[in-house]
Structure 1
Amino acid sequence: MKDTFLRIERMTSTLSMLAACAMLALAASLGVFQIITRFVLETPAEWSEVMIRFSLIWMVFLGIPTAFRQGAMVSVDVLYRWSPPALRRVLDWVVCLAALVLIAVIIWWGWDYANRGKVQTMIGLEDVSMFWAYLAMPVGGVFSILGIIGNLLDPQRLELETAQ
């Protein structure tokens, strides 16, 4: 059961990180496009700035699950180093539960915000609903839950291991 969950979590974390990287590449490409259209062609594309912001929001929320999975998101390094091994596991559970509560709030309010944003449109992209921008919060939150639980089951303290 644990191995199956970790395999699924690894696939979903990889998928979310690939999507986050794609969003970063899209934002960078649109930034270059915006510079060329604004300063070289002198006819700026209004929609490109909105799409850059949109892709950066998605990039952040799709990158968070990997940070949780690697143990780099909620960092309690000093407490972890000073704690005896028995207390470290308790600390893992406390951090996990706190992170799950935070992500649950983000999912709840993110979904509510996305639904309320259905009637709004993006400036520069009048045909696109703000629902799609706000949807990044609950989608990233669902991926984050898998990363948080995955880190509890198979702790990876890459942040702690690389610190001096």
Structure 2
Amino acid sequence: MKKIIKFLDNWEENVITVLLPLMCIVVFLSTVFRFVKLPVMPWGEELARYLMIWIVFLGLGTGAKKNAHFFVQILINVMPEFTHRYINIFRTAVVTAFCFIIILLSAQLIQAQIMMGQISPALRIPMWIAYLAIPVGCATMIIRSIQYAVKDLTGKTK
């Protein structure tokens, strides 16, 4: 049971750990095939692109979980110590609101993609699968940002 909980707690990192080497292998094979005059993999570049998109958007949650996203640290440094938690709460609220808006807009985009039935040129997969990375990544960023803010408020981030 503990392994399942640990896996779910780190699922973004686990998926990225699989997708990144897969992307590297596809790019490597596509390059080798091109230079040794083997049959070209027309789907290689497209698959690598979609894997990169998923890696980036899943990385949003991983970065938020570790509080590794860009933040103007000078704002924290010039403010008194007692305001730091309030600034972090405000930052979490802004990130949550922004990601929520992106989720709503991307849901409309995905719905339009499903209705149009657009498929990718080389892989012939539905395009909404590639676009699904946007709301999934933003949702994980919301969850992980709130998770970090709660840890920060309770003093468990150290």
**Superposition TM-score tier, normalisation by shorter sequence:** 0.7 to 0.9
Q: CA deviation at 1:57?
A: 0.3
1:122 to 120, 123, 126: 120
1:82-128: CA deviations, max 9, x gaps?
221221111011100110011102211122212222211101012x1
Q: Does 1:15 align with 2:7?
A: no
Q: Does 1:30 align with 2:26?
A: yes
1:112-149: CA deviations, max 9, x gaps?
212222211101012x1001000001111221111010
Residue number in structure 2 paired with 1:149: 146
Q: Is the 8 A contact 1:12 1:143 kept in 2?
A: no
Q: Which has the higher strand share?
A: 1
Q: Does 1:90 align with 2:90?
A: no
Secondary structure at the aligned position of 1:28 is classed as helix
Q: Percent of aligned pairs with the same residue?
A: 24
Normalization by structure 2: what TM-score?
Answer: 0.85
Q: CA deviation at 1:21?
A: 2.4
Cα distance change on mapping 1:141 and 1:15 into 2, 3 Å? same
> Where does the alignment leave 5 or more consecutive residues of structure 2 unmatched?
153-158
Aligned mates of 2:104, 2:25 — CA distance in 1: 32
Aligned mates of 2:9, 2:52 — CA distance in 1: 18
Q: CA deviation at 1:74?
A: 4.0
> What amino acid is aligned across from residue 68 of structure 1 in structure 2?
A
Q: Is the 8 A contact 1:103 1:144 kept in 2?
A: yes
Q: Does 1:78 align with 2:74?
A: yes
Q: CA deviation at 1:42?
A: 3.9
Aligned mates of 2:55, 2:120 — CA distance in 1: 18
Q: Does 1:45 align with 2:41?
A: yes
Q: How many residues align?
A: 147
Normalization by structure 1: what TM-score?
Answer: 0.82
Secondary structure at the aligned position of 2:40 is classed as coil
Q: Is the 8 A contact 1:65 1:140 kept in 2?
A: yes
Between stretches 71-80 and 44-53, larger displacement belongs to 71-80
Aligned mates of 2:90, 2:12 — CA distance in 1: 25
Q: Is the 8 A contact 1:13 1:66 kept in 2?
A: no
> Where does the alignment leave 5 or more consecutive residues of structure 1 unmatched?
1-7, 156-164
- Structure 1 runs (4+) greater than 4 angstroms displaced: 10-13
Residue number in structure 1 paired with 2:155: none
Aligned mates of 1:95, 1:148 — CA distance in 2: 9
2:56 to 30, 39, 60: 60
Alpha-carbon RMSD across the aligned residues, in angstroms, is 1.8
